[in-house]
Structure 1
Amino acid sequence: MLLFYRFYRWLYLRRVPVVPTICKYVNRIVFSIVLPPSAQVGRNVRFGYGGLGIVVHANAVIGDNVVISPNVVIGGRSKLREVPVIEDDVQIGAGACILGPVRIGRGAKVGANAVVLEDIPPGSIAVGVPARVIRQG
């Protein structure tokens, strides 16, 4: 799944028309993940259960060595143009929603079903709806 994304991202960066969009939809049908070619995904990113139910905003940035569990939404919020930035070595629990112009700091952990609406400092753990930091890094 991620190898397929890297292929159509490569095509997208070289401005190949139509093919990256078709590949995005194939990825969505086969793996149940919405991962647009314009999203930036770093190295060694792992999507739990092959990306099942994961939705990533077209302008989102995901760093290296990130673990994303199933049913995670990394997206924007209405009337806000900015989208999430996930730094390196972050773990995101199942069902979490990371919405709007937030930055998840390096090495942070987001608990299952948390709704992140504000920045999470590096090395911290955030849980709840809305997410709050329970341990500073």
Structure 2
Amino acid sequence: MVLAIHRIAHVLCKWRVPVIPKILKIANRVLFGVVLPPSVIVGKGTLFSYQGLATVIHKSAQIGNSVIISTGVTIGGRSGKEGAPVICDGALIGTGAKILGPVRVGTYASVGANSVVIEDVPDYAVAVGVPARVVRINKPEDVPRYDIFD
């Protein structure tokens, strides 16, 4: 439901409709506790766990296809750095993770719960800790399929 509201707001924002996208953003915030500005690009098949509860997304962030974002995640800016995070296709962002500044989380990369990412995470990597560091890089054939649920 969060993404349905967001997609309507995003289209209206692209069409430069002045007030309705802001109202839809506020509706998402009140109903689901997610801050998801209409200007954010969200790919197909992206999943916000528990409808994005306590999740905050920067207005210039880009989120790819089939990304899984857990609860309490912040994808935002960083003081002194211009730009916003780019989350590539198939990434998994764990509960409470913070992705800060103009960083790129690679294709099928995983960010552990409560990690703070302030540097790029390569494709297929697993990053954990504060600040996050890469602890493993998976082979493409060994990447877990989080998008398949029973």
Q: TM-score range by the shorter chain?
A: over 0.9
Aligned AA (1:10): V
TM-score normalised by the chain length of structure 2:
0.90
Tell me the residue number matched to 2:56: 55
Greater than 2 Å deviation, 4+ residue runs? none
Is 1:95 the counterpart of 2:96 in the alignment? yes
**Match for 1:73: what amino acid?**
T
Q: CA deviation at 1:51?
A: 0.7
Q: Return 15-24 or 64-73, whichever deviates more.
A: 15-24
Specify the code of the residue in structure 2 equivalent to 1:98.
I
Once residues 126 and 78 of structure 1 are traced to their aligned partners in structure 2, the CA distance between those partners, rounded to angstroms, is 22
Sequence identity percentage: 53
SS at match of 1:24: helix
Q: CA shift at 1:54, angstroms?
A: 0.4
Unaligned runs of 5+ in 1: none
Is residue 5 of structure 2 the alignment partner of residue 13 of structure 1? no
2-structure distance, mates of 1:73, 1:25: 18
Gap regions ≥5 residues in structure 2: 139-150
Which residue does 1:85 correspond to in 2?
Answer: 86
Corresponding residue number in structure 1 for 2:47: 46
Distance 2:126 2:81 in 1: 25
Aligned residues: 137
Deviations 1:8-33 (A, max 9, x none): 11111101011101110111000100
Q: Cα distance, 1:78 vs. partner? A: 1.1
For residues 30 and 76 of structure 1, the distance between their equivalents in structure 2, rounded to whole angstroms, comes to 24
Give the corresponding residue for 1:74.
75
Residues in 1 aligned to 2:3 and 2:21: alpha-carbon distance in whole angstroms: 14
The structural deviation recorded for 1:80 is 1.4
**Deviation of 1:98 (Å):** 0.2
The residue type equivalent to 1:62 in the other structure is I
Paired amino acid for 1:101: P
TM-score normalised by L of structure 1: 0.98
